[in-house]
Amino acid sequence: MKTQTFYLRALTTSWSLYDLAGRDDDETIQPLAEGLDQQGVLQYLSEITVPDKHTPTARLVIGVPAPWCLCAMVTDEGLPRSSSAQQTEALNYRLEALLPITAETCAIDYVGPGPEQLGIAIDSTKLKSLIHALEDTGHSVEAITPRAMLAAQCWLDTQQPSGLDEPTSLCWHEDDGSAHSGLYQLIHIDPGTPPRWRVIGTPSDAPSALQQQLAIDNIDPSQSVRGWRVRPEIMPELANAAGHANQPITLDDPIEAEIRASRAIVNSAAQPWINLARGPLAERYQWRRLRLPALASVAALVMLLVSLAGVLWLRAGAYDRATEQYDLQSAEAFAQVLPGQTIPTSPRRRLQARLKQLRGESGIAGGDALQTTSTPTLLLLHDLLDAMPSDQRYAITDLRIEGGALRMTGYARTHSEADQIAKTLRGSSVFVVEPPSTDNLREGGVRFSLQATHSHSEESEEKPKPSNPPSETSSLAERTPQGGTR
């Protein structure tokens, strides 16, 4: 639901409400309601708006009259360079020294590129109860600004894109509906400097006050002074006081200018020169503006998590189906390799165990090819016992045979006897023996360790197998041990 926008125009003793949903080229601008008090404003808004718990029900710009405001020019020269909040607080105390205000109870804002700035303050008690009531009913106050600043900002925007090429002063009559009441104000706009805002008096003393104020502000009398909603009978007097022929401006109705500037503010097309919605009048529920984006982000996150869970669930189903297919293929392979046997729960593990058994019995070197590429274990053990020396004493405590290689650990009486064992094996021409490693023992004797490789295994890796290799049975028959070992 689109949030409604309104301009709440404060008069001296009453309020008027305007709709900002129209366009700038509307010919007639009529208030939705006028002559309201603060309670009447709240009641009327509740009747024409639809509450929404996620977004502000209505967004408002509040224009306040000049008698409610106090202003002065302040400078930030000599202030220590610190954070923006600390610098603003220091400027508030400087403004407090120039005006009859208390910085803690006033809403203050500044306009100007610096170092000199125009500071405007308003007593927060005039608006605080209304602002809080609007927030409590779900409305949002976008800006609080003097009506004169809104009108001057709109007039300056009409000069774009060319902008001002010379300093200009706007003499504006702000009244509450009667041309014979209200105050005359002077807004001096000079490119590159902050605007100056002065209340120069009532209609009766406006010409003399204008001339005096121009002298106080050191404004050249030959500069352009444009009257805005000035009484026709005093326009010549104002022109004479300014020393320049009075030039009427394009926008004759200040209310039209205020509404145009307010519409640009709520549409984020412009920033107000002065925004008094700060300090005591600042928005209390600052996170409410982020409620809808936050809810949208949470909803998007939930949708993302749900989508991610759905994708993972689908992938898990695909993995389950692939597992079932692989189990079926394993069962078929088991039935082909071991026909007639009952298919176990895990055919893959059964086949792996069987493969390990085959490797241990036959000395298989390859992973998948069931081909014998090394000497059978029994033949290698036979050749080892046949080649061991029989004329000396020794003990073998550990013998490991893997493929065509063996590792032997044992005890001998001396280092020379350990070397003699390796020499005897090497002299049999059956084994390729590496030099043994020996260690002395505390209780006497030597511990030795040697490694050897069966010569038949090395030849089988270098040369192709003969067409009719001798069988294991004939080899065992040709070799007979020469003696026992101990």
Q: What would the pLDDT profile of 229-249 be if each residue is shown by its tens digit?
A: 665 555 666 655 555 444 544
3-state DSSP call for residue 233? Answer: helix
Q: Higher model confidence: residue 477 or residue 97?
A: 97
For 214-250, b where at least 16 C-beta lie within 10 A, e where not — what string?
Answer: beeeebeeebebbbbbbbeebeebbbebbebebeebe
Residue 298 has pLDDT above 70, yes or no: yes
Instruction: Quote the CA–CA distance of 103 and 91 in Å, as a whole number.
Output: 10
Instruction: Quote the CA–CA distance of 399 and 314 in Å, as a whole number.
Output: 55
- Ranges of beta strands (E only) in 136-231 are 140-146, 168-174, 183-189, 196-201, 224-228
φ and ψ at 247, to 5 degrees? Answer: -110, 115
Q: Is the pTM of this model over 0.75?
A: no
Half-sphere exposure of 370 (CA within 13 A, CB side): 8
* β-bridge pairing 33-36 and 106-111: unpaired
Residue 294 is predicted with a pLDDT of: 83
Is 276 in contact with 68 (CB distance < 8 Å)? no
Instruction: Quote the CA–CA distance of 378 and 382 in Å, as a whole number.
Output: 6
* Token digits of residue 222: 């030959």
3-state DSSP call for residue 62? Answer: strand
The CATH classification number of 377-478 equals: 3.30.1360.100
What percentage of the chain reaches a pLDDT higher than 70? 71
Residue range 177-194, pLDDT digits in tens: 544 456 777 787 776 666
| DSSP of 139-154 | -EEEEEEEHHHHHHHH
Q: How many other CB atoms are found less than 10 A from the CB of residue 4?
A: 19
Instruction: Quote the CA–CA distance of 175 and 228 in Å, as a whole number.
Output: 12
pLDDT band at 479 (very low <50, low <70, confident <90, very high): very low
Residue range 303-359, pLDDT digits in tens: 999 999 999 999 999 999 998 888 888 888 888 877 887 877 777 777 777 777 777
- Pick from 428, 386, 439, 433: which is nearest to 408 by CA? 433
Which of 38-42, 430-434, 476-480 has the highest mean predicted lDDT (pLDDT)? 38-42
Residue 1 is predicted with a pLDDT of: 56
Give the pLDDT mean for 395-407. Answer: 87
- Ranges of beta strands (E only) in 11-54 are 15-19, 33-36
User: Hey, where are the domains in the chain?
Assistant: 4-284, 294-362, 377-478
Order of strands, sheet of 116-123, starting from the edge strand that comes earlier in the sequence: 69-75, 116-123, 106-111
- DSSP annotation of 85: H
Q: What share of the chain is helix, strand, coil (3-state, %, to 5)?
A: 40, 20, 35
Q: How would you class 408 by CB atoms within 10 Å of its CB: exposed for 0-12, middle for 13-18, buried for 19 or more?
A: buried
- Phi and psi based region of residue 285 (left: phi greater than 0; alpha: psi -120 to 50; beta: remaining): beta
The residue type found at 382 is H
Residue 320 is predicted with a pLDDT of: 92
Give the pLDDT mean for 123-142. Answer: 90
Half-sphere exposure of 133 (CA within 13 A, CB side): 12
Half-sphere exposure of 181 (CA within 13 A, CB side): 7
Instruction: Quote the CA–CA distance of 257 and 148 in Å, as a whole number.
Output: 10
Give the pLDDT mean for 445-462. Answer: 75
- Pick from 232, 183, 233: which is nearest to 210 by CA? 183
Is 484 in contact with 386 (CB distance < 8 Å)? no
* Token digits of residue 255: 């209310």
Instruction: Quote the CA–CA distance of 220 and 325 in Å, as a whole number.
Output: 96
Give the pLDDT mean for 110-127. Answer: 86
Query: Which whole-number Å values give the CA distances from 196 to 71, 168, 184, 224, in the listed order?
Result: 9, 11, 14, 15
Instruction: Quote the CA–CA distance of 297 and 300 in Å, as a whole number.
Output: 5
